[in-house]
Structures are given as C-alpha cells and as structure tokens.
Amino acid sequence: MRDSTDDSAKDAVPIRPGARRTARELARMVDRVTRDLPFGSEPADYLVVRDRLAERGPETGR
C-alpha cells in the first residue's frame, strides 16, 4: 500500500507497470462498488455483524 508521507527512493518498493495498472483498475472498481455503501462503519463492525447474523439453534444447527 502506498504511503504518501514516504517518498524516499530507498524505501520505495519497485513496482512494475503492469502492477500499477492493476492497482489503478482495482481503485476505480472499488470506488464504483462502494459508492452507495454507508460509511462511518469500522472494520471491527464486521465481527459484530457476523455474530448478530450467526445461525443459532440446537447443537445440530437446525
């Protein structure tokens, strides 16, 4: 992941043009697919949602 505060050449990982192209394409796609999602959610919320949606029941899972 690019660190915008660190421009020193010695610390930069060399990246081939194809990889940069892939990164740009993915960034465009992520913008598109997350446009309508509610923000303000934190990654930790995932565990809360997972536990809320958990299948519960007797031991067999029914």
Nearer to another protein, 4 or 7 (CB): 4
Give the H or E element holding residue 37.
Answer: none
Q: What minimum distance in Å lies between the beta carbon of 7 and another protein? A: 14
Does residue 7 contact residue 13 with C-beta atoms inside 8 Å?
no
Q: What minimum distance in Å lies between the beta carbon of 17 and another protein? A: 10
Cα torsion 55, 57, 59, 60: sign = negative
Residue ranges binding another protein (CB under 8 A): 1-4, 11, 13-16, 18-20, 22-24, 26-27, 29-34, 37-39, 41-43, 45-51, 53-56, 59-62
